[in-house]
Amino acid sequence: MIGGVIAIALGTLFGASPCDSILSGRVVDSLSGKALAGSRVDAGESVAPVRTDREGRFRIEGLCPGPLRVQAVRTGYALRETQVRAGEPGLITIELVSMEIREGEELRVEAAHLKASDTRSVVSLEG
């Protein structure tokens, strides 16, 4: 506890930036622009993820100034990752792409080709 207070005091004395930046914005559907309530927005390990409100708005506090990797996701939508700078004024808008597949639409799935040796498993029975 005392060590943390000393570190904050020393950081302030030597001009270190406090982690008091705020990131605000909205999460919307990429096609309709409709607000996506209940989306999860994550700005890294130093702060807890948040959920958007009914208007798709979010606010994350306690960020250190500088570059941030922000991720947003919601059920039925693809994860979206974007780079922003914490501490800069303004709101960001994160557009999520729906993963809904409609009847008659083509779905293409790709995967790495496996060699036969990649699919073997070794089982050892000791008794």
CB under 8 Å to 84, separation ≥6 — which residues? 23, 67, 68, 70, 92
Q: Report pLDDT digits (tens) over 18-71.
A: 889 999 999 999 999 999 999 999 998 889 999 999 999 999 999 998 899 999
Q: Are 91 and 25 in contact (CB under 8 A)?
A: yes
Q: What's the chain's average pLDDT? A: 83
Q: Which domains does the chain have, with CATH numbers?
A: 19-100 (2.60.40.1120)
For residue 71, report the phi and psi dihedrals to the nearest 5 degrees.
Answer: -120, 140
pTM score of the predicted model: 0.67
Name the strand (E) or helix (H) holding 69.
strand 66-73
